[in-house]
Amino acid sequence: MLTLREIMTPRPASVPPGASVRDAVEFLRTRGISGAPVVDGERVVGVVSSSDVLDFTSATAIESAAAPEDESDGDYWNDPEDWVPLPEDEDPSSFFREFWPDTDESVVERLSHSETEARDILEGHSVAEIMTRSLCFLSPDSSVREAAAFMLSRGIHRILVMDGDRLEGIVSTSDIVRAVADGRL
């Protein structure tokens, strides 16, 4: 029986709850991961993921979005007669190039030296505000099959590996797929 101890990432990188959402995004991006435990001192208090960030930014954008100035009924984009078709030979992204002349620059680079409202929103909120507080964990001696079933039933992409209150590691869906591909499961 293959156990979580055998496939987990030990001592996973973590994020403090007081870090800004902007710092968490940068942390996840630079490590090429989609989520991490949130640790306060030695205690795991949650998990922050790219889904948490997307949920937060989309909710914030909806709250702060204003209706188009020339339309008061809110159905501006719902009437197909208002839509302007894109010429067949034109690249769909060309519409956005009109607004962003520096499209060759990555979004991360643009945001890192931009004082946009989006940057302020990410900087002005903490990980504690957006993290998932319910912890999904199993012991290091749990089977990989048990973890896969647990992750599938909860619709999650990673599971904390904990020995009592102590964080031992983390197992992601990629770790399980790797074990299957290597013939270990």
pLDDT tens, position by position, for the chain (185 residues)?
999 999 999 999 999 999 999 999 999 999 999 999 999 999 999 999 999 999 998 877 655 554 455 545 555 556 666 565 556 666 555 555 555 555 555 555 554 554 555 556 788 899 999 999 999 999 999 999 999 999 999 999 999 999 999 999 999 999 999 999 999 98
pTM of this structure: 0.68
Distance of CA 7 to the CA centre of its chain: 22
Assess contact for 161 and 57: CB atoms under 8 A.
Answer: no
